[in-house]
Amino acid sequence: MIIFAILVGTLCAGIGSVWVAAALSFGVLARYTQHMLSMAAGALLATAFMHLLPEAFESQTPAHDLFLALLIGLVFFFLLDKAELWHHGHEHGAHAHGHSGHTHGHEHDSEHAHEHEHGPSGGSWAILAGDSVHCFGDGVLIASAFMADVRLGMIASVAVLAHEVPHHMGDLAVLRSGTTDRQAALIKVSMAGSVTALGGLLGYWLVEQLQGYLPFFLVVASSSFIYVALADLIPQLQKRLGGWQTAAQIAWLLAGMGLVSAVSTWAHLH
């Protein structure tokens, strides 16, 4: 039963986020792109602070050890981001504009805009490879949440879906800047998104073997969500805006938190 739930959750997050991204990129929802960033940030922060961390701290694991794991996780994702940015700049002369360099998917819209400007230069497969690795990691995180509690797994799936939407929008933009048509771009990114399910299966096996370390898996998932929200999404929202635009931004941020709460309530009732 639990493995079926993991498969459904990972496929919804992995492929569902690609389809929502396509609707925002190509369809009538294009004007809501910025709002998705706010909503994703809210969903990630609420999932980390209201669900994953409390679940981890309810275990018998010493709080000091869990806080240390959280700190190490944040530093790790910071260093990973640094390595990706350095690698991206290092390959500038070759095909860096086609290489998204997001092993963990923390690319910034400015990078994507830059890539879009210069075209993929045959590097679209590098983007898909990086995307697949990132989706695989998401699958492991979702499986860890499901192994702790089915309700927690559903919340984590929604949070991953929300934060993958802006990510996949960048991928679709880069792939479309070459000769790839919309349908081909959508199929390619969907295939990368489906790798989330493979990560879920590995995560299920891994957590089963290391059951005693589940609180640490949850804390690492939290550090990933917190880092993406604070280092990647929120800085993109820090622009000088008018009163109404600022209010809309805050409203969508709260909507992301509300979405996570609604999923939690619904899952609890069922």
Segment 117-136, tens digit of pLDDT = 334 334 566 667 777 887 88
- Other beta carbons less than 10 A from residue 60's beta carbon: 6
Q: What is the pLDDT of residue 117?
A: 36
- Other beta carbons less than 10 A from residue 117's beta carbon: 9
110 burial (CB, 10 Å; 0-12 / 13-18 / 19+) is exposed
Structure tokens given for 208: 């089963």
Rounded-to-integer distance, Cα 40 and Cα 32, Å:
12
**Residue 218 CB partners (closer than 8 Å, separation 6+):** 52, 53, 55, 56, 144, 145, 148, 152
Give the pTM.
0.71
Residue by residue, pLDDT tens for the chain (270 residues) are 888 999 999 999 999 988 888 887 776 566 666 777 888 888 889 989 998 899 899 888 899 999 999 999 999 888 877 776 665 554 444 443 333 334 344 433 333 333 333 343 345 666 677 778 878 888 998 999 999 888 889 999 988 888 888 778 777 777 776 655 778 888 888 888 899 999 999 989 988 888 888 899 889 889 988 988 888 778 877 777 777 888 888 888 898 888 888 887 776 665
| Geometric angle at alpha carbon 232, from 245 and 80, rounded to 5° | 175
**Residue 58 CB partners (closer than 8 Å, separation 6+):** none
Structure tokens given for 210: 């290391």
**Contact between 70 and 222 (Cβ < 8 Å):** yes
Buried b (16+ CB within 10 A) or exposed e, 24-57: bbeeeeeeeebbbbbbbbbbbbbbbeebbbebbe
> pLDDT tens across 89-115, in order?
544 444 433 333 343 444 333 333 333
172 burial (CB, 10 Å; 0-12 / 13-18 / 19+) is buried
